[in-house]
Structure formats: structure tokens, C-alpha cells
Chains A and B, each alone.
Chain A
């Protein structure tokens, strides 16, 4: 391990943001915490010796990979539950999760309401759009870093980002006109 103090600082800084991302993706605080914890362990175990500048894209790549893995498992489980329980058609598990925030964008919002509004709006996006928006707009990764973090091409990042922006503008236009 090269520089534990620097890595500690990095994780202290990135951890809460990673947790918010995972919470938005899963709508489950416990699952989100497990995912972030897993990403932390992976970064420390596998990439602690890498240059500090690489930690952010690496950490968020691990995080996004864990989120996608969780999402895939949920999808599989839903498919089997549907089959075993005889329920209706397969549905997107993210879209199926209850929106615990229960609010819609309004003109005069407090800061915490803005937070809830963006959280709720992001939760309605398809997972890839959600991921790309948070990595680009919040984490500040460039297109190439985002592509690396998401395990997809740069063209795909641009497409998802554009679609995310369009969807968010539609939903949050009154919050940030």
C-alpha cells in the first residue's frame, strides 16, 4: 500500500458521494451501504498502489460495476419471483421501487427540497443515464473517464448524458429554469 493517509482522505471525501449515488440507484440505504463498502475494500485491495489521480475513476468504476451487478441480480430475482409467484410481466426493478420521497418539482423549493427533487428525478432515469449524469455533472469525470468508469464507449456516454439532461430538464425545469 503506497500512501494510506492519502487513500484515507480520498475515501473520506468520495465515500459520502458514492453512498448518495448508490442510494439513488437502489432506493435501499442498506444495500447502498454494502455496495459502497464493497467498493472501498476493492479499491484498497486492488488499486491502493496506483497513482492518486487514478483513484477517483477506479473507485467509481468499481462502484458503478457493483450497482449494475445489484441491478442485474434484482432483475433476475424479479423474473424468478414473477415465475414462481405467477405475477404479471417483468418490469424494471428501479422503476418498480417505491418513490419514498413522494414529491414533485415546485417553483419555490428549499435547498433540502431541491435535494429531494433531484434525487427523485434521478431515480426515475434508466440506470445508465443516472450513472452518467452523476459521474459527469457531480463527480466531474470527463467523457473518457466516465466511459472507463461505466465500462462503455465514449459515444455511449455522450448519448446517455444528453438523454439524462433532456429528461431532467423536463422534470426539473421549474426547479432550475
Chain B
């Protein structure tokens, strides 16, 4: 069914107004965080969150490549045969995504995720 113009306009305007109210009604604490983030960005201060991974010194670069290769080899070797396996490029992309600072945090939390899985996430 193609929505007619009148109904479409009502929906768009109504949804837009409702979203606007959500933005206007943000909690004071959240507003304060936004204001702080804005001020820090404009002042050119370093980002307090999600810091960029420090660039390795040139002599360390081969080590990074070797570590990535090792993870790929390990993953391929351990991959359970009957289950679904991602294609080669997808696997490499996954490893690149996971091998950054955030990825390391993921591995650190892995035990927790596995526990969560076992307990069915009941809390």
C-alpha cells in the first residue's frame, strides 16, 4: 500500500515533532555531557573517550602484521568444520576490526559474554 500524501505528511510531521520533543527533553545530566563534549571539541582538547590507538613506532609495524596473521591462522585452524565459516576476506576484516583497542576490550570481556551465554542472560 502506498501511503497517500496527506497521511504521509501527518506521519512525517508528527514523527518529526515527537523526535524533536525527545531531543528537547533530554535529561539534564545528558545535556551537561553534551555541553562538555562540545566545549572540549571546540577548545581542541584531546578526546576523553575512544582515544585513537597510539601509532606504533616503525620497528614495531612488522610485529603488528605478524600478530594479525597469527590470529588469522589460529582462527582458521580452530574453526569448527561443520559450523558456518566466514569467507576469507570477511575473516580478515573481522580480525582487523577486532584487533584494535576496542577489540582487545572485547577479548577481555569474552569470559563474561560466555558466562552470559551459559546463564541465558538471566539477571
- Seen from chain A, the residues whose Cβ lies within 8 Å of a Cβ on chain B are 4, 7-8, 11-12, 15-17, 19-20, 29, 33-34, 36-38, 40-41, 43-45, 72-73, 76-77, 79-81, 83-87, 89-90, 111-112, 114-115, 117-119, 133-134, 137-138, 165-166, 168-169, 172, 175-177
Given contacts A34-B49, A81-B113, contact A177 B10 (CB under 8 A): yes
Asked if B21 and A76 sit within 8 Å, CB to CB, the answer is: no
Measured between alpha carbons, how far is A38 from B44 in the docked complex, in Å? 13
Apart from A15-B38, A83-B80, A119-B19, list 17 A-B contacts with CB within 8 A.
Answer: A11-B41, A17-B19, A19-B34, A33-B37, A41-B47, A44-B44, A76-B98, A77-B98, A79-B86, A85-B113, A86-B117, A114-B14, A118-B15, A118-B18, A137-B16, A168-B15, A177-B7
Chain B residues, CB < 8 A from A29: 30
Given contacts A4-B42, A40-B38, contact A19 B1 (CB under 8 A): no
Asked if A115 and B19 sit within 8 Å, CB to CB, the answer is: yes
Chain A residues, CB < 8 A from B102: 73
Interface of A is mostly: helix
Q: Tally the A-B contacts, defined by beta carbons under 8 Å.
A: 138
Q: Does B122 contact A (CB under 8 A)?
A: no
Asked if A176 and B49 sit within 8 Å, CB to CB, the answer is: no
- Seen from chain B, the residues whose Cβ lies within 8 Å of a Cβ on chain A are 1-3, 7-8, 10-12, 14-16, 18-26, 30-31, 33-35, 37-38, 41-42, 44, 47-50, 79-80, 83-84, 86, 93-94, 97-98, 102, 106, 110, 113-114, 117
Interface of B is mostly: helix
Chain B residues, CB < 8 A from A19: 23, 26, 30, 34
Q: Which of B11, B24, B50 contacts A16 (CB 8 A)?
A: B24
Asked if A84 and B110 sit within 8 Å, CB to CB, the answer is: yes
Q: Which of B18, B48, B79 contacts A115 (CB 8 A)?
A: B18
17 pairs, A vs B, C-beta closer than 8 Å? A8-B38, A8-B42, A15-B34, A16-B24, A19-B26, A43-B41, A44-B42, A72-B97, A73-B97, A80-B98, A114-B18, A115-B19, A134-B19, A138-B15, A166-B1, A166-B3, A176-B14
Asked if A12 and B38 sit within 8 Å, CB to CB, the answer is: yes
Measured between alpha carbons, how far is A175 from B3 in the docked complex, in Å? 15
Measured between alpha carbons, how far is A83 from B94 in the docked complex, in Å? 13
Chain A residues, CB < 8 A from B114: 84-85
Asked if A76 and B97 sit within 8 Å, CB to CB, the answer is: yes
B118 and chain A: residue at smallest CB distance: A85
Asked if B47 and A138 sit within 8 Å, CB to CB, the answer is: no
Measured between alpha carbons, how far is A83 from B25 in the docked complex, in Å? 41
Chain A residues, CB < 8 A from B48: 37
Measured between alpha carbons, how far is A124 from B6 in the docked complex, in Å? 24
A13 and chain B: residue at smallest CB distance: B23
